[in-house]
Amino acid sequence: MATNSDYEGRRRSLLEALMAIACERGLDEVSVREVASEAGVSPAKVQYYFRTKDEMLVAAFSHVEAILTGRAGHGSTARGVAHYLREHLAAWLPTDAEGTALARVWIAFLARAVVVDELAAIEVRHRNGLHHDVAALIDHGVETGEFAPDVDSRLEATLLLALVDGLVVRMLSDPGGFDAQQALHALDAHLDVRPRRRRHQQQQEHERKPVKAGV
Amino acid sequence: MATNSDYEGRRRSLLEALMAIACERGLDEVSVREVASEAGVSPAKVQYYFRTKDEMLVAAFSHVEAILTGRAGHGSTARGVAHYLREHLAAWLPTDAEGTALARVWIAFLARAVVVDELAAIEVRHRNGLHHDVAALIDHGVETGEFAPDVDSRLEATLLLALVDGLVVRMLSDPGGFDAQQALHALDAHLDVRPRRRRHQQQQEHERKPVKAGV
């Protein structure tokens, strides 16, 4: 008899087959038939887990965003809020093979979300969660005295997340010309001045850091 | 007898039909048959201008990026380089119906460019052109004394373009939750500190500007 974890495992393997197709050939190549072929099962088997292609896409997008959130969620503020914030944001950049595959699938879904309301709702919920977490982290940094007391955490979170999204887009569309090192350098340049540190922290930081080359 | 401008006009009307489909339903709904239907001509007529769907997509992406470049290319540095830079970057944000339609089509092509080399080449050429133009503008601002002499124009251009791309992505995926005003406010907050002004200019600016509400 199939257990609950068998069911979840098989369902997940179908979502991973879908992601592999989206990563290599794009989301418009995804169909119940193609996912079945990629996973080595019958189309009827796929339809046992997902009645329609749309249902499968919604499940896959939620799955992608859950993995992305999991990747960024590790670490602690033991070495300071600013340090954790940097690690948290850097984790969104596709700096390894898994991250690149996820980012390729994410951008395919993002483009689809612009024309499909149900996918847009998933993206908005995910995005608002991220924004809330980053703003809360910055508020925490204001409380611990790492950031200046008048820092606008929601504005800073908007700027940081937009910057990271833009860097991801550039890395994906020009993998040979704009690499992880350049993206991290740009992120660090932003974090050097935003969110603004308390004055004495900023001075210590500048004394410690070597001057970096331009991107 | 068909003149050269007839030919160009008819070709452009097919590209506009393709863009209308991509904007409303996404790029995966684009086919020679659908473009013919949208433009009110026969599929054979479409194939007279574009032999294959791929050829049509390449032409359409180039067309979209030419329009986007044209939209941003107006203005002058008469009111200062920093002022022009702000206008130039704000023009990329989808703040009106035409801009929104173009941005929706752009993101569809961007997702496709990740898996199709020929589209990626168009995006990279366009992106490098933008980066070069923005960096040159910042260099000009350094020369005129508006920006600090040690500003790294290539890094600043990378940050600005990534930020704008990220803001466009957010506006497109959450049109009800993140609007043009919030995007412009975020862009202005970035430009308040980057590229860094010469000290005396920065002071004048801060005296003049009212305090804004958070995003």
Three-state SS string over A94-131 comes to CCCHHHHHHHHHHHHHHHHHCCCHHHHHHHHHHHHHHH
Residues A175 and A85 in one domain: yes
Residue A42 φ/ψ, nearest 5 degrees: -80, 155
The predicted structure's pLDDT at residue B215: 46
CATH of the domain at B3: 1.10.10
Chain B, nearest residue to A187 by Cα: B159
Q: Is residue A214 part of a domain?
A: no
Task: Report the 10 Å Cβ neighbour count for B44.
Answer: 9
For residue A146, the tally of other CB atoms under 10 A from its CB is 20
Q: A-contacting residues of B 10-49, CB under 8 Å?
A: 24-28
B25 neighbourhood in chain A, CB within 8 Å: 115
The mean pLDDT value for B129-152 works out to 96
For residue B139, tell me if it sits in a domain: yes
Determine contact: B114 vs chain A, CB below 8 A. Answer: yes
Q: Which residues contact A188 (CB under 8 A, 6 or more apart)?
A: A86, A212
Q: Which residues of A touch B182 (CB under 8 A)?
A: 158
User: Cis bond leading into A94, ω under 30°?
Assistant: no
pLDDT of A215 reads 46
Statement to judge: residues A177 and A123 lie in one domain: yes
Question: Is residue A215 situated within a structural domain?
Answer: no
Closest Cα of chain A to B18: distance in Å?
15
Same domain? For B36 and B140 the reply is no
Residue A147, SS3 per DSSP: strand
Instruction: Examine residue A56 and state whether it is found in any structural domain, yes or no.
Output: no
Q: What's the gap in Å between the CA of A111 and the closest CA on chain B? A: 5
On whether both A112 and A17 belong to a single domain, the answer is no
* Whether A125 contacts chain B with CB within 8 A: no
Instruction: Report yes or no on A213 lying in a domain.
Output: no
CB contact under 8 A, B110 and A111: yes
Tell me, what's the ipTM?
0.90
CATH number at residue B83: 1.10.357.10
A82 and A186 co-located in one domain? yes
Question: For B98-116, what is each residue's pLDDT tens digit?
Answer: 999 999 999 999 999 999 9
Q: Is A152 on the interface with B (CB under 8 A)?
A: yes
* A158 or B5, greater pLDDT: A158
Stretches where chain A sits below pLDDT 70 are 1-2, 200-215
Which domain range does residue B17 map to? 1-51
Q: What pLDDT does residue B74 have?
A: 72
Residues of chain A in contact with residue B148, where contact means CB-CB under 8 angstroms, are: none
Are the beta carbons of B124 and A169 separated by less than 8 Å?
no
Measured torsion, CA atoms of residues A94, A95, A96, A99, in degrees rounded to the nearest 10: -20
Look at B41 and B199; give whichever has higher pLDDT: B41
Q: Are residues A106 and A201 in the same domain?
A: yes
Question: Same domain, yes or no, for B129 and B195?
Answer: yes
Q: How many distinct structural domains can be found in chain A?
A: 2
Domain of residue A6, CATH code: 1.10.10.60
Q: What is the pLDDT of residue B75?
A: 75
pLDDT tens for A134-157 read: 999 999 999 999 999 999 999 999
pLDDT of B14 higher than 90: yes
Tell whether A46 and A71 lie within a shared domain.
no
Beta-carbon pairs below 8 A across chains A and B? 144
- Say if residue A112 is in the same domain as residue A170: yes
A56 has a chain B CB within 8 A of its CB: no
Same domain, yes or no, for B12 and B112?
A: no
**Do A109 and A191 have their domain in common?**
yes
| Closest-CA residue of chain B to A159 | B186
